[in-house]
Amino acid sequence: MSIVILIPGLLAIYIALSQSPQKAFLNVYVPVVLFLPTYYTWLVPGFPDPNFQQATILPIIIIWILRGMQGWKFSFIDIIVFGYALAIGYSEYSHVGYSNSQNFIANEVAGAVLFPYILAKSLIEPAGLREEFAKRIVIILVIVAILSAYQSLTLSHLTIWQKGLGRFFGGQGWTWVTQFRWGLPRASGPYGHAILAGVVMVIGYRIQRWLEWSRAWPSHIQQLSWLPISPARFFTLILLAGIISTLVRGPLLAGIVAAFIPLIGLTKKRWLIFGILFTSFIIIIVPATNWFVDYVSVDPQSVGNKSHQTVIYRWELLTNYVELAKEKFYLGWGRLRYPYVSGQGSIDNHYLLLFLKHGIMGLGFFLAIFFIMMIRLFIHSMLQPTNKLPGSSLGFTLLSLYVVMLISLATVWMGGQTLHLFFLITGWSEAYLHSKHETTTNDTVALSTNNQFQFRRTF
């Protein structure tokens, strides 16, 4: 029954051959990444067990290679991304051998890191699909947010995806049970965990705000003609509701911080705005750090507030696990072989977990990707002229997505679709930095057609 995993892959093959790999990437792979769970796999004896995402992207990248790797250009960040993939892949292989690491290498190293990065870098900006790619993300996440309301309204312990797909995959996926906070269910959609859903929704919200500010959506969509508001505002409100339904704290805080990033691009006085924000951050961070240390330096048993206990738990993770990680400093312990501290089986910090699993090699390359891309996006965006439409700077929006991830990953591991999404964003950002186009297609057309009178200069 689990062979149904091949259906999106077969559709991707058909579209890639009959139309183009770009169309298959945009219309099949992107929806599969964001709409179908990663925790379902097809068990194939002797071979890596593919999930929906792997089965879909593999034929696309093969056809893309056979057709000449259109859009691909080597750049420095490729070395860092490939170095990260090699580090985590070799780390796992060195601990358990190929037979026990083949699923990890196929589905995570290749299927979630390398292939999404390569195709996003090659097929979005070079093919002029910037706006279409962003819209696909928003539309799929709007659908996910609407379907996730099933959990919130029915108080169900299972998602609509588990009820619809679980029958095809035996015992897979049932362990992802709905979590509750304040007596309310936390919507997790097809992402397994509410915090992961929160991260994805916040990223989608920030992309939608860029599309809305850029006037990329038409003022009227026939299928949504019944709406009393514009389609762009409708999508924004639905995604905001999707964020709230996850009842997350870390990604919500990350989204609030990231919201300040596009503000820098609203004015020509960017360095002044940046200076104000940076100075405010420095003024706030010192007393905030002292308060935080006092807040977590208490016995969790003496605290009655569950939220306070969660913060203390995550702080103690660092103090308890860092020394263990140092014992296998370079390549880590492997995914399933690191020792557990009693009472702290859940490591809710991706940086710490990566250090434990794959050592300083994996963590170092991962942080290098983060900070190299953030610094380059910041410098690039600060040097660009002010856009005609406030908030329509893609560079600042992409930078805000990294800020969302950077903060959120201190509270959760990079599981499920967040890994695919991170490397899709990295590939997109790298191609954007090498492009010469700063606005959306609709923005360019709108600005050119706003000139009512046409003048000709004559000497």
Residue 296 lies in a domain: no
For residue 179, give the 3-state DSSP assignment.
strand
Determine the Cα–Cα distance for residues 230 and 207; give it in Å rounded to an integer: 17
Q: In the structure, what pLDDT confidence band is assigned to residue 357 with cuts at 50, 70 and 90?
A: very high
- Name the pTM for this structure: 0.92
Whether the predicted pLDDT of 456 surpasses 50:
no
Least confident of 49-58, 192-201, 304-313, 372-381: 304-313
What average pLDDT is seen over the chain? 90
Alpha carbon dihedral 89, 254, 416, 357, in 10-degree steps, equals 30
For residue 335, give the 3-state DSSP assignment.
coil
Q: What is the pLDDT of residues 184-230, one digit of tens each?
A: 899 999 999 999 999 999 999 999 999 999 999 998 887 777 888 89
Q: In the structure, what pLDDT confidence band is assigned to residue 51 with cuts at 50, 70 and 90?
A: very high
Give the mean model confidence (pLDDT) for residues 245-254: 94
Q: What is the pLDDT of residues 420-450, one digit of tens each?
A: 999 999 999 999 999 977 766 554 444 443 4
In the prediction, which pLDDT does 47 show?
86
Q: In the structure, what pLDDT confidence band is assigned to residue 286 with cuts at 50, 70 and 90?
A: confident
Whether the predicted pLDDT of 455 surpasses 70:
no
Q: How far is CA 376 from CA 79, 233, 287, 301, 435, in A?
A: 16, 31, 30, 45, 13
Determine the Cα–Cα distance for residues 254 and 196; give it in Å rounded to an integer: 13
Residue 44 lies in a domain: yes
In terms of Cα–Cα distance, which of 249, 150, 154, 146 is closest to 195? 249
Domain that holds residue 376: 2-267+317-433
Residue 279 lies in a domain: no
Residue 459 lies in a domain: no
Q: In the structure, what pLDDT confidence band is assigned to residue 266 with cuts at 50, 70 and 90?
A: confident
In terms of Cα–Cα distance, which of 404, 400, 420, 425 is closest to 191? 420
For residue 219, give the 3-state DSSP assignment.
coil
Q: What is the pLDDT of residues 392-419, one digit of tens each?
A: 889 999 999 999 999 999 989 999 999 9
Determine the Cα–Cα distance for residues 106 and 49; give it in Å rounded to an integer: 8
Residue 62 lies in a domain: yes
Residue 284 lies in a domain: no
The token pair at 215 is 């006037």
Residue 19 lies in a domain: yes
Tell me how far apart the 2 most distant CA atoms of the chain are, in Å.
Answer: 84
pLDDT exceeding 90 applies to what percent of the chain? 65
Q: What is the pLDDT of residues 100-123, one digit of tens each?
A: 899 999 999 999 999 999 999 999
DSSP-assigned letters across all residues of 80-145: HHHHHHHHHHHHHHHHHHHHHHHHHIIIIIIIIIIHHHHHHHHHTTTTT-HHHHHHHHHHHHHHHH
In the prediction, which pLDDT does 440 show?
60
Q: How many domains does the chain divide into?
A: 1
Residue 446 lies in a domain: no
CB 72, CB 44: distance < 8 Å: no
